[in-house]
Amino acid sequence: MTRRRFSSNAGGFLFKTGLFAALASLAFFLFNQGDSKKSNRPIDGKPPVEISDDRSEAPGPESQTESQVPEDIFPASSGELVRHTWYALGYAEDHEQAEWVAYELTREHLNEHWAERSNTFRPDQAVHTESATPRDYSSSGYDKGHLCPAADMAFDATAMDETFLMSNMSPQVPAFNKGIWRELEELTRDWARRFKHLYVVTGPVLTQHGLGKIGFNKVTVPAAYYKVLFAPDQQRGIAFILPNLMSEKLVMDFACPIDQVEERTGIDFFPKLPKALGEALEGSLDKNAWPISRTRYEQRVKVWNVRR
């Protein structure tokens, strides 16, 4: 009897000891949880910094680098402002293309080793209303014409690649894209080397009746394009309005003061310039300050236009 009573007491003691250990462990756990929550409370009224571990939507290459485009060169317009690494644009949703593209073109960048052309045409994910797609241009008879030329961004592989986003494309007549538009792009690079750097704003003229629409997204085919140039060191400016068709005229036949492009497009260019300077710059035109290449003109007429 004595041995049996001892065994029963020992069992009860072990049970109580185990129960106490379990309760102690639970209390310790709850204390740590409370302390952990306390450490996440605001300190001096400041909310805690939260670090998200959501990796389901990794940023694309064009959203990883801060834009290098000076905001002072942005035109004043109503389109959605979209910034990329080396150019910015105002997107016109009704026309599924940019109404302007702005960037800085420098001698230093043009003299660097050129990256390989990527030709990776794709929709622009940075456009909130969604951009046009390459399929919109399929079998349309129009080229995917660059507004910011790939060659202007060839100093950097990422910069070059971003020029193939569809927000930077506009439907161009092939003989225009490969002809006088190409010549003006090459002249612009010549002038950037000459003046050290240029501010460039270019785009379609969307205020006049176009040549129709293409694709599922109804992309407007512009009847004309413009290019506005400002050499800040020399305080010189010039603009061009070119019809979207093949031409055998000299590029300078389409030169005009900047304010003439403003009247045609409704866009206010370089609005942050001092008023007196802006008025003088935009109302003047000195073609002699912007020399052109007769050899390149002859090449365009005899070779580029023929290869259309």
Q: What residues are labeled active site?
A: 146
In whole angstroms, what is the distance from residue 161 CA to residue 60 CA?
12
Q: For helices 258-265 and 275-283, what crossing angle results, to 10°?
A: 90
Pure H helices in 80-156: 107-110
Residue entry with tokens 């569809």:
166
In whole angstroms, what is the distance from residue 224 CA to residue 208 CA?
9
3-state secondary structure of 10: helix
Pure H helices in the chain: 2-39, 107-110, 157-162, 174-177, 180-195, 258-265, 275-283, 294-299
How many beta carbons lie within 10 A of that of residue 263, not counting itself?
11
In whole angstroms, what is the distance from residue 202 CA to residue 98 CA?
9
Strand partners, 92: 97
Measured at the CA of 224, the angle between CA 67 and CA 214, to 5 degrees, comes to 85
